[in-house]
Amino acid sequence: MALINIKNREVQIKIVYYGPGRGGKTTNLEYINKKYKQQIKTEMVSLKTQDDRTLFFDFLPFDVGQIKGFDVTIQLYTVPGQVKYNATRKLVLRGVDGIVFVADVQKEQRKKNIDSLNQLYENLKIYNLDLFNIPFVMQYNKIDLRQSKIPTLSSKIMQKDLNSLIKVPALEASALKGGNVILTLKKIISMTLASIQDQIF
């Protein structure tokens, strides 16, 4: 739930990057952090293992300026994607306003994408949230691998696997190279802002 301070005219929105391990969630935030260095006042917090896997979360707060007289801050989080960290993932989802699902287009990750999305559905229920009714953007990441020898899935298959029921905006991206990272971010921000419109504006 967005934190809305009518008195100070401030709004804080929490967006969580969710998805299977090694899908590129942290890489998305790292790219955003690099790209918007001037607007980001604090350092990105990354709680990770020695081999750079997210252990708890990455955190990146981000000012988007004034919208209809409100100072809007976006807080970006990632979850740890490894299967064994589900208890931790649930914690990070508390208070979420919008979700980016970072799926991995590598063929061998196909089942992991689907399992992760199914588990997200279950995890959201804990907070009385419905996957079908929360601002949500699908990101098919590592699209650059289509140029390599590594087998990848077509976006048609990705859509069928992950997006045939929820039917949310989906983008192909390369978090590593920056492709569509910002577009994904803009999309989820605008959807999330639209969803809380009624509460404030």
Ligand X SMILES: Nc1nc2c(ncn2[C@@H]2O[C@H](COP(=O)(O)OP(=O)(O)OP(=O)(O)O)[C@@H](O)[C@H]2O)c(=O)[nH]1
Q: Which is nearer to Mg ion, 11 or 138 (CB)?
A: 138
Give the nearest residue (CB) to ligand X.
81
Q: Which is nearer to ligand X, 78 or 123 (CB)?
A: 78
Choose among 49, 28, 154: nearest CA to 101: 28
Q: At 115, which helix (H) or strand (E)? A: helix 110-125
User: In the stretch 8-47, what mask flags binding to Mg ion with x, by CB under 5 A?
Assistant: -----------------xx---------------------
Integer angstrom CA distances of residue 66 from 7, 69, 97, 152: 15, 6, 19, 41
182 binds ligand X (CB under 6 A): no
Q: Which one of residues 14, 16, 18, 21 is an interface residue with ligand X (CB under 6 A)?
A: 21
Q: At 156, which helix (H) or strand (E)? A: helix 155-162
Q: Which is nearer to Mg ion, 52 or 108 (CB)?
A: 52
SS (H, E, C) 75-109: EEEECCCCHHHHHHHHHHHCCCCEEEEEEECEHHH
Positions that interact with ligand X (CB under 6 A)? 19, 21-27, 53-54, 78, 80-82, 141-142, 144-145, 174-176
